[in-house]
């Protein structure tokens, strides 16, 4: 009976570690790929706004 409990606990721990690795990868990807893309878009939008303000 103790073996069953340990095996179940081990399985749960493995799922938690796997989920943690996936969440860590998503956070890393967001910081590495999404942030530069968003900054580029905001920079382009700011440039358009700045050009429009200068024409006034």
> Which residue has tokens 């069953």?
4
State the pLDDT at residue 3: 56
Query: What's the chain's Rg over C-alpha atoms?
Result: 24
DSSP state at residue 15: H
Long-range contacts of residues 49-53, Cβ cutoff 8 Å, at least 24 apart: none
Neighbours of 11 (CB within 10 A): 10
State the pLDDT at residue 38: 84
State the pLDDT at residue 18: 94
> What are 1-55's pLDDT values in tens digits?
455 566 676 788 899 999 999 999 999 988 888 888 888 888 888 898 988 888 8
DSSP letters along 16-56, please?
Answer: HHHHHHHHHHHHHHIIIIIHHHHHHHHHHHHHHHHHHHHH-
């Amino acid at each position: 009976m103790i073996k069953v409990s340990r095996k179940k606990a081990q399985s749960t721990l493995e799922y938690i570690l796997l989920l943690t690795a996936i969440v860590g990868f998503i956070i890393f990807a967001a910081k590495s790929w999404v942030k530069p893309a968003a900054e580029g878009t905001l920079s382009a939008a700011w440039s358009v706004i700045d050009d429009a303000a200068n024409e006034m």
